[in-house]
Chains A and B, each alone.
Chain A
Amino acid sequence: MTDKKPGPGGFTGDPDAALEVTKTGGCCDGGAVSSPCCGTSAQASAEKSCCGSTAKTEAVAAGQSCCG
């Protein structure tokens, strides 16, 4: 295959930035291994749930996976 076409796909920056997602507060401050969820701890606390519904809605709308 001689595929050399540059396209709009792939990461725009360093792919390894995907390794830092859970270290930057993406989901319950990254501590949500046993009960994965979206949003910060503060949002979750305000919603009285593991996952803040606002954070969840925004995450889903932004194309991010979200569970638990």
Chain B
Amino acid sequence: MTTGEAPAGLLAGIDPERMAATVDALAAPAFAGRRAGSSGGEAARAWLSEQLAGLGAHVSADPFAVRAVPEIYAVPEAIWHDGARPRRLMFGRQMLPHLASADLPSARRGDLTIAGAGDPAGRWLLVPSEMSLFEAYGHAHGAAGLLIGRGTDPDGWHYTMLAGSDPGPLPMLTLDPATHAAMTAGSGRLAASAPIRRTDVTAANLHAHWHPGTGILLTAHYDGVGDHPGLRQPAASDNASGVAVVLEAARVLAAALPGGAGLAVALLDAEELGALGSAHHAARLREAAAAPLVINVDGAGRLEGAAAVEAGGPAHALLARLDQAGRHTGLPLKPGPAASDNRRYTAAGLAAVGIGAGMGGYHSPADTPDRVEPGTLAAVCRLVVATAWLAATNTTTLPSLIGD
């Protein structure tokens, strides 16, 4: 294969069906939503390790400790009695334990009242939308718990968030806006639990290389927010889709670059906990004085117009390659937030770009494989392969003939 023929041959070898199958596999019940430190996450890592080894890579895992990973460990109960009849609130749609909730294993009963509007003792407090959580705590001495209105996704599901607030002193439930408004207007009483716990776990990044040395580092996080009891959260777009793109790009590139020279892959854990896997890896790279060009993919599920690109560090040349690749493959690009692992590499002083091409669902049961478009997987993979090829051949002083 000559240098000039390489891109066309590489791009023709990209298989959307293979990527869709990867998404299906990672989103399957056996991996339970792939929360960091869970048995599902561990099983997913073992499966991914096999996939990388099958590509001829040298594969290793790099574990690291993560503290206080939140987990809803039982189906929470919430029964609102408005004085006329009891109504059981639907887990995941009408209510969800708040990330900052204290653990409340069994249902606690109490009258409803508005935070700041009366004696809170023994009552569930409805927090008005204009009141901060900090202020609500000030009105909550002796309260049964707090009830916070929060928007849902277009399918009516609450978002599950793992990164953010530390646990507070009270049980807290988030309610969808309609339920929060109805409770505020109707009052009554509530019996509710909030079974949420925090566990120290071991997460692990997966690393693959085909040749000593790293010029191009392809990254994607494989963890998800995890299933809830009785409620699957497949994490297909976020980020089985990105992993599928990276695996397929690695398969194509490893076969084309001499010995896979300069190519490395990192499949990262604990992104949903605050990009902890990439923070761990970026620190290792700094210690080793390594400076690969990083291409991170987070969300390749539903392209609408243009893929968002966020860059950081000394990424001018990498951006130029990305632009060339976009022109070559016909994928429009736009500057936009890609708030993902790429930021950790940027913070470590590395040239890094984050690519996001949409999600059909996000942190909810709606993030299913059927919402991941094979055409989007293919478009993003073509972009990544062309960019990496341009950058890799440049580092080995081979000329690039892509571009206009």
Q: Do A and B come from one complex?
A: yes
> A residues touching B (Cβ–Cβ < 8 Å)?
1-12, 15-22, 26-27, 32-38, 45-51, 53-54, 56-57, 59-68
B339 at interface (Cβ–Cβ under 8 A)? yes
How near does chain A come to B213, taking the closest CB pair, in angstroms?
26
Mark each residue of chain B from 277 to 303: 1 if its CB lies under 8 Å from any CB of chain A, else 0: 000000000000000000000110011
Assembly CA distance A10 to B306 (angstroms): 9
Out of B165, B322, B339, which one reaches A65, CB within 8 Å? B339
CB atoms of B305 and A63 under 8 A apart:
yes
CB atoms of B150 and A53 under 8 A apart:
yes
Assembly CA distance A41 to B66 (angstroms): 26
CB atoms of A62 and B308 under 8 A apart:
yes
On chain A, the residues within 8 Å of B330 by CB distance are: 7-9
On chain A, the residues within 8 Å of B258 by CB distance are: none
CB atoms of B8 and A64 under 8 A apart:
no
CB atoms of B322 and A15 under 8 A apart:
yes
How near does chain A come to B225, taking the closest CB pair, in angstroms?
10
Mark each residue of chain B from 144 to 166: 1 if its CB lies under 8 Å from any CB of chain A, else 0: 00001011111000010111110
Assembly CA distance A12 to B187 (angstroms): 54
CB atoms of A38 and B312 under 8 A apart:
no
On chain B, the residues within 8 Å of A26 by CB distance are: 310, 336-337, 339
How many of chain B's residues touch chain A, expressed as a range?
35 or more
B residues 240-286 in Cβ contact with A at 8 Å = 271-272, 274-275
Q: Given A19-B312, A67-B271, A67-B339, 12 other A-B contacts at CB below 8 A?
A: A1-B401, A10-B331, A11-B334, A21-B311, A21-B338, A37-B164, A48-B133, A49-B99, A53-B150, A60-B299, A67-B275, A68-B163
Out of B6, B311, B340, B358, which one reaches A18, CB within 8 Å? B311
CB atoms of B333 and A10 under 8 A apart:
yes
CB atoms of B356 and A64 under 8 A apart:
yes
Assembly CA distance A45 to B80 (angstroms): 28
Q: How many A-B residue pairs have CB under 8 A?
A: 210
CB atoms of B161 and A51 under 8 A apart:
yes
How near does chain A come to B360, taking the closest CB pair, in angstroms?
9
On chain A, the residues within 8 Å of B362 by CB distance are: 56, 60, 66
CB atoms of B328 and A9 under 8 A apart:
yes
Mark each residue of chain B from 339 to 374: 1 if its CB lies under 8 Å from any CB of chain A, else 0: 110011001000001111111001000000000000
The 4 closest A-B pairs by CB, nearest first: A65-B356, A10-B326, A26-B337, A10-B327
With A15-B323, A18-B310, A67-B238: A53-B151 Cβ-Cβ less than 8 Å = yes
On chain B, the residues within 8 Å of A50 by CB distance are: 161, 163-165
CB atoms of B402 and A1 under 8 A apart:
yes
CB atoms of B150 and A35 under 8 A apart:
no
Assembly CA distance A45 to B334 (angstroms): 27
On chain B, the residues within 8 Å of A19 by CB distance are: 311-312, 315-316, 319
CB atoms of A9 and B337 under 8 A apart:
no
On chain B, the residues within 8 Å of A46 by CB distance are: 129
On chain A, the residues within 8 Å of B159 by CB distance are: 53, 56
CB atoms of A63 and B307 under 8 A apart:
yes
On chain A, the residues within 8 Å of B312 by CB distance are: 19, 22
CB atoms of A45 and B154 under 8 A apart:
no
Assembly CA distance A15 to B151 (angstroms): 34
Between-chain CB contacts (< 8 Å), 20 pairs:
A1-B8, A4-B404, A7-B330, A10-B323, A11-B323, A11-B334, A18-B310, A27-B337, A33-B344, A36-B274, A36-B275, A36-B339, A36-B343, A38-B339, A48-B132, A59-B337, A67-B163, A68-B161, A68-B162, A68-B275
B residues 120-147 in Cβ contact with A at 8 Å = 127, 129, 132-133
B218 at interface (Cβ–Cβ under 8 A)? no
